[in-house]
Amino acid sequence: MSRRRWRSVAWALLLLLSVATPVAVWAAGRAPATVDARALTKLPKQRTTAPAAYPPRAETERIEADVTLLLSIDAEGRVTKVEVQQPAAPAGYGFDEAAVQAAEQFLFEPAEANGKPIAVRVPYVYHFRLPARAAASESTGPDAGPADGGTPSLAGDAGSPIGADFDAGPPATSSAPPDAGAAAAASAAPVTLSGDLMVRGTREPMSDVLVTVFVEGANGPLGFQSRTDPAGHFEFRGLAAGEWRVFIEAPGFYPYRTTETILPGMRTTVKYYMELGSQSPFDVTVTGQTARKEVNRVILPREIIDKVPGTIGDPLNVLPSLPGVARTPLAGGEIVVRGAAPEDTQVLVDGMDVPNIYHFGGLRSVLPIGILESIDFQPGNFNSYYGRAIGGIIDVRLKKLAPTHFGGYVDLSLLDAGLYLEAPIGSKGALAIAARRSYIDALLRSNDSDSSGVSLVTAPVYYDYQLLGNYRPAAGHDLRLAFFGSDDRLAELFTKPGDLALQATSARFSQQQSFYRGILSYRYVPTTRFENSAAVSIGRDTADFALGQVLFNVQTDTLQLRDTLRWKVAPWITPVVGIDSLTQRWNGLARLPALPKEGMPAANTDLSQLMETRLNSVVTWSPGWFGELELTPTERLFISAGVRADYFRRISQLTAAPRFIARYRLTPTVTAKGGAGLYYQEPQFDETDPNFGNPHLEAERALHLSLGAEWKPRPFLTFDGTGFYKHLTSMVSPTDATTTTASGVSEPLRYDNNGVGRVYGFELMIRHDFSNKLVAWLAYTLSRSERRDSGSSTYRLFDFDQTHILAAVATYQLPANYQIGMRYRYVTGTPQTPTVGATFDSITDRYDPIFGAPNSARTPAFHQLDLRVDKKWIHEKWTSTVYLDLQNVYNRANPEGLAYNYDYTKVAISQGLPVLMIVGFKADF
Amino acid sequence: MTSPAALRPSRLLWTVVLAATALACTPAFDPEARLTKLRVLAVRAEPVNPNVGEITTLDTLVYVPPDAAGDPVTYSWSWCPELGDPSDGYRCPETDQEIQEMGAELGVTDIPPLSLGTDATATFRNPFPPAVLADLCNRGFELGASRCDQGFPIRIAVTVAQGNVRLPATTVLTLPVADGATTNLNPAFAAGGPAVTALMNGVDVPIDDQASVMLPRVIETKLHANVADSEAETFEGLDDDGQPALLRERLTLSWYVETGDVEPDSFHTGYFPGTTDLDKLLSNGWKPGERADYPRDDAQIILVLRDSRGGVGWTSGRVGLEPTP
């Protein structure tokens, strides 16, 4: 059979809408009798279907046709008789026979009258359509299947009589089929009833839905039907004056029943809002299954992220619930993946670099849930598309706009308020804007008093803004624009900022951190075998921090270019090549004390010994090139062999990193997988700064190895286990060594590349996708992460080494639009460097701790249960949701670190937040 | 990962600031201002910046609790040309021999031994000509000092012991790097008047050593220290932007009491001339504890005044406490 497939409009509609139009009704189990149309309580719904075979000669000659059938459906839903009411034109191609043959195999849920099943006759129109000759559909990319031809015709048969006949008697052709004459007459008549059909709450238009009207005529009930157009609009012409019953049924929606009065010579205009049978956010998510090409990858769609307990609906707070992600202290804002330092993991937005993903180092994500599509998380062994990271990848995907009408939401929470608006721009474009502002400062101010005894109060003020747009001029062309930014600052609540440090030489205090990015991308998919994605990102990062003489005022301009070309040369081989260039220009002044590094305990900072560096248009450039071969030599085997080359201009080093990934399907439900690859990363900017660090450092390197298996015993259930090992070399490590410059000046080397590390462990992910009203996952990681510092002969624990990390998340849909969720986490305590004494410093009037062996102690384990309840109300034109997020339900005194008294003679566990109840409100319109 | 590193130092500072504001619940310890055990409260050098050949006298302000007043207190003084690392207690990495060898290289003689004795006070004679120290500063970091704009810093250490308790303490002595450099003076409380007064019935009453002022328990009494604005000396230094400028010292005042609490907001606060109010620095409130917690009839109060160039001064007084509650 040709790749050009077809299907009939009626078949598709009945499959999708599960609706048929009653024509003749007779009582179940006995001879047909007259049934009042008003007694009809349920329309027949199609349960199974069978596609009709497209007549070969008609396909060859590209002939299309419609066939109107009359189906007799008994009280058990079986098709007992199929008659051709309106044969295909032109005749002789076999359309009628094909339609009858298919319809005889249908099964229905029977129609009901007064709650009892009854037999009915329904007209059924088969539209035989050929797919368009144009190749690619807009949404089809190389990962998707071939274009699905035979797009269903959406032509509505507005106001066509359906020949309802409720007379007693044998099912026969006594009902009048819609014939050309009747249709012509109907279209000539004036519109007497018109309306719009929309989803209750969201006002999304409902297209391709049959609207049926009946009236008691002189010869029995007479019915007409109209199909809504893409805008949800329907019309009836020439309806006689009187009371008309309106029936609307659509799959997934509650049936809609009403009565309209048609007045002589008047046009009645209505708006109907149909309510979804289930308000589960997951119902509306239809995700295409794409071939897996990674060893480990978790994609969390917005609908799941939004409802995870304990996150206050914040998208990135869900990350610690994923396998391989360690828990970092409260407000740490650091993401530790598979035992890698936070700076080793790249957080991207649509594949592009961003400086900061959190407000205030973890308080809130800079991107609200409304503009996100999903979070794509790869803890290791990522392919060559990604570079400049030796840890993991978190790629935040922005929403693909497809609004059908103007809408949005208002979101109020304990921390902030946000607004999101979106609207279609013509038929080919869409635009969305969003903004959010915190009001913690106002709350704290209202609570601030002289009697509080608090010498300083921080009031985080943050706001962020986003603009998204897309334009699809034609099939295969997709142009997208994203502009977003964030600003963080502390309100002037420091009454005496100089008191933050006795060494501060003035009371100067300022702080602000902001950035913006504009990303323009263009995706071109002329055929299913070829795709090119190009994107350019420009932006500016600004960091301003001043406390007395301490100063960090740096501005960074960023230009990033990406282009990825994918060409499916043959079904079994797809080369992928691309470039990824990141250019940055730095300006500013930094006057800071030595910055603590991983493995160094938090010592007091000596503000009398500051280092200074001035950046005057310092340009760093990191071009990257990548190439990959995606091979499917057999149906069971997938291999990805690639290499990534990066040039780090700042350290003048070119790196080449080969990477391999393989997946082999052992059985239909079991897949073995593995990967091996090299990864490089430039040292941090301060580490190679001539004043702060060592400009002669080399790139850090990591070898990733992983091996595992996936088992999918049910379509909604996946078990995924992976063992991993990472070997870290050329790691930047602090050193006491000194170097002598050409002019004979002795300088500390500060850092060298003699650090090494090793990380090994096992991850298990059990995922229950939405099914039976439940979405859930369990993530467990067993791991050990160690480092050996420069000059040391022994390994020590990594700062965030956590032996056991367990997260169990579940969300369940309850009746009446309630939803309940829970998250439980258990995490081994975090390594700590104990303090064994202290020295009183008379200059700073404080005690400087003396440390024991690095990371030789641990805090107690963390465990916490969070609950969340959502209640949604469906209003006619909008919806409202109130959620209650209850964190730390059993009030566990969780450790966040060690706290010492002023002279370090007493130590206690610094505890996290107690039981906390957060209420939020969201209105979608 | 390149770009995030750009903001990393700033994020780090943010984290420090946020952590300082109790995002997590920290346990309650005895306040630093309450004197309950042997404490070293200050280490002082007089003069603050000894010129070459000049001798500076080093002493300490040690608080000894009344119940241990009879036990002997011992001292052990030392110095080190390197500032050292706080994480190992500022251990001096140099030996006497190495110091002498270094001195010989620099042409400096009469370098004192690293140990400065075991008396309650010690002396240090500055053997380093300013030019030698300036040269060391220019040569970089080999002695651990990266900024010499106020002089060449060396480490002074003292260990105060009583019984089994050993309290290491330290200060930094800044040696002149230029001939004729203006030296700093230790700040002092107002001469000729009471160092600290208590506001009793609307009148400032001097607090002396005889406990002649009787304070109520559990009720806050307003206190006021007397320090002249001129104690914040003017000097040539680098401003916040690192530019040479004529600056005034910052003063800080620390309050210590044997019972109850002083206002934590004012425990050690700063005075920035021209920016903040000196009177705020000098004002505090003291709420002595109830008899059940502190049965003694009198209590000591100690004030330590510091300037931002290593100068230190202190005063103390004693108050009587009402018998109840």
Residue A1 one-letter amino acid:
M
**Smallest CA–CA distance from B313 into chain A, residue:** A842
- Residue A925 · residue A873 · CB < 8 Å: no
What is the pLDDT at residue A107? 84
- Residue A504 · residue B270 · CB < 8 Å: yes
A161-170, A346-355, A483-492, B113-122, range with the lowest pLDDT: A161-170
Residues of A numbered 320-339 whose beta carbons fall under 8 angstroms of chain B's beta carbons: which are they?
329-333
Residues of A numbered 355-414 whose beta carbons fall under 8 angstroms of chain B's beta carbons: which are they?
355-356, 360-361, 388-389
How confident is residue B43, by pLDDT bands cut at 50, 70 and 90? very high
Cβ of B18 within 8 Å of Cβ of A361? The answer is yes
- pLDDT, one tens digit per residue, over B135-147 is 888 776 544 445 6
The Cα–Cα gap between A732 and A726 comes to 16
A129-143, A378-392, A588-602, range with the lowest pLDDT: A129-143
Residues of A in contact with B86 (CB under 8 A): 603-604, 606, 839, 841, 848-850
Instruction: Work out the number of other CB atoms within 10 angstroms of the CB of residue A60.
Output: 10
What is the pLDDT at residue A166? 28
**B47 preceded by cis ω (within 30°)?**
yes
What is the pLDDT at residue A500? 56
The residue among A545 and A566 whose pLDDT is bigger is A566
Cβ of B11 within 8 Å of Cβ of A896? The answer is no
The Cα–Cα gap between A214 and A819 comes to 39
% of chain B exceeding 70 in pLDDT: 87
CA distance A914 to chain B (A): 9
Beta strands A460-471 and A751-771 are: unpaired
Phi, psi of A105 (to 5 degrees): -95, 0
Average pLDDT over residues A323-351: 85
Which of B9, B15, B141 lies nearest to residue A332, judging by beta carbons? Answer: B15
- Residue A710 · residue A718 · CB < 8 Å: yes
How confident is residue A5, by pLDDT bands cut at 50, 70 and 90? very low
Cβ of B8 within 8 Å of Cβ of A592? The answer is no
What is the pLDDT at residue A242? 85
How confident is residue A165, by pLDDT bands cut at 50, 70 and 90? very low
Does residue B280 surpass a pLDDT of 50?
yes
Which of A458, A595, A609 lies nearest to residue B147, judging by beta carbons? Answer: A609
What is the pLDDT at residue A849? 93
Residues of A in contact with B36 (CB under 8 A): none
- pLDDT, one tens digit per residue, over A14-66 is 222 222 222 333 223 333 334 444 456 666 777 776 777 888 888 777 788 87
- pLDDT, one tens digit per residue, over A745-755 is 777 888 999 99
How confident is residue A499, by pLDDT bands cut at 50, 70 and 90? low
How confident is residue A491, by pLDDT bands cut at 50, 70 and 90? low
- Residue B225 · residue B282 · CB < 8 Å: yes
Give the residue from B131, B128, B134 showing the smallest Cα distance to B150.
B134
- pLDDT, one tens digit per residue, over A418-439 is 999 999 998 899 999 999 998 8
What is the pLDDT at residue B295? 94
Residues of B in contact with A543 (CB under 8 A): 6-7, 9-10
Average pLDDT over residues A260-283: 77
Cβ of B265 within 8 Å of Cβ of A453? The answer is yes
Q: Testing the interface with B: which of A506, A622, A894 to mutate, by most B Cβ within 10 A?
A: A506
**Smallest CA–CA distance from B249 into chain A, residue:** A505
- Residue A851 · residue A837 · CB < 8 Å: no
Give the residue from A355, A345, A419 showing the smallest Cα distance to A388.
A345
What is the pLDDT at residue A618? 92
Residue A343 sits at the vertex; the CA angle it makes with A337 and A345, to the nearest 5 degrees, is: 40
**Smallest CA–CA distance from A548 into chain B, residue:** B240
- Interface contact A588, partner B, CB < 8 A: no
Does residue A563 surpass a pLDDT of 80?
yes
Which of B2, B304, B312 lies nearest to residue A620, judging by beta carbons? Answer: B2
Average pLDDT over residues A172-189: 38
Report the DSSP beta bridge partners of residue B117. B77
Does residue A141 surpass a pLDDT of 70?
no
- Sorted by sequence, the CB contacts under 8 Å of residue A802 that are 6+ apart come out as A326, A327, A781, A783, A827, A828, A829, A830
How confident is residue A164, by pLDDT bands cut at 50, 70 and 90? very low
The Cα–Cα gap between A8 and A54 comes to 9
The Cα–Cα gap between A368 and A363 comes to 13
Q: Which two tokens stand for residue A695?
A: 């400009």
What is the pLDDT at residue A29? 32
Average pLDDT over residues A881-901: 89
The Cα–Cα gap between A499 and A428 comes to 58
Whole-number Cα distances in Å, A553 to A232, A494, A546, A592, B9: 55, 20, 8, 11, 10
What is the pLDDT at residue B27? 62
A195-204, A336-345, A857-866, B55-64, range with the lowest pLDDT: A195-204
Does residue B301 surpass a pLDDT of 80?
yes
What is the pLDDT at residue A675? 95
How confident is residue A183, by pLDDT bands cut at 50, 70 and 90? very low
**A90 preceded by cis ω (within 30°)?**
yes
Cβ of B27 within 8 Å of Cβ of A550? The answer is no
Does residue A103 surpass a pLDDT of 60?
yes
What is the pLDDT at residue A112? 73
**Smallest CA–CA distance from B242 into chain A, residue:** A549
What is the pLDDT at residue A330? 62
CA distance A820 to chain B (A): 28
CA distance A141 to chain B (A): 29
- Residue A731 · residue A756 · CB < 8 Å: yes
A95-104, B56-65, B274-283, range with the lowest pLDDT: B274-283
Supply the mean pLDDT for chain A. Answer: 80
- Residue A266 · residue A191 · CB < 8 Å: no
Determine the 3-state secondary structure of A222 from DSSP: strand
Q: Testing the interface with B: which of A842, A846, A911, A913 to mutate, by most B Cβ within 10 A?
A: A842
Beta strands A364-365 and A372-378 are: unpaired
Give the residue from A527, A500, A399, A425 showing the smallest Cα distance to A138.
A527
Cβ of A620 within 8 Å of Cβ of B172? The answer is no
- Across the A:B interface, residue pairs with CB atoms under 8 Å apart total 263
- Sorted by sequence, the CB contacts under 8 Å of residue A532 that are 6+ apart come out as A523, A524, A563, A564, A565, A566
Cβ of B25 within 8 Å of Cβ of A558? The answer is no
Average pLDDT over residues A639-665: 96
Cβ of A681 within 8 Å of Cβ of B172? The answer is no
Residues of B in contact with A503 (CB under 8 A): 308
Residues of B in contact with A608 (CB under 8 A): 147, 153, 172
- Residue A93 · residue A60 · CB < 8 Å: no
The residue among B108 and B7 whose pLDDT is bigger is B108
CA distance B3 to chain A (A): 5
Residues of A in contact with B310 (CB under 8 A): 843
% of chain A exceeding 70 in pLDDT: 81
- pLDDT, one tens digit per residue, over B176-208 is 998 877 789 999 998 778 999 999 999 999 999
Residues of A numbered 841-900 whose beta carbons fall under 8 angstroms of chain B's beta carbons: which are they?
841-843, 845, 848-851, 896-897, 899
CA–chain centroid gap for A279, Å, is: 18
What is the pLDDT at residue A7? 31
**Smallest CA–CA distance from A546 into chain B, residue:** B240
Give the residue from A492, A516, A490, A494 showing the smallest Cα distance to A504.
A494
**Smallest CA–CA distance from B237 into chain A, residue:** A505
Cβ of A685 within 8 Å of Cβ of B2? The answer is yes
Residues of B in contact with A382 (CB under 8 A): none
Residues of A in contact with B6 (CB under 8 A): 355, 541, 543, 554, 556, 584, 586, 685
Cβ of B250 within 8 Å of Cβ of A505? The answer is yes
Beta strands per DSSP E along A772-854: 774-788, 796-797, 804-814, 818-827, 831-832, 835-841, 846-851
What is the pLDDT at residue A279? 57
How confident is residue A182, by pLDDT bands cut at 50, 70 and 90? very low
Residues of B in contact with A347 (CB under 8 A): 4
- pLDDT, one tens digit per residue, over A111-140 is 776 667 877 777 677 777 765 443 333 333
Average pLDDT over residues A308-323: 80
Residues of B in contact with A490 (CB under 8 A): 17
CA distance B231 to chain A (A): 16
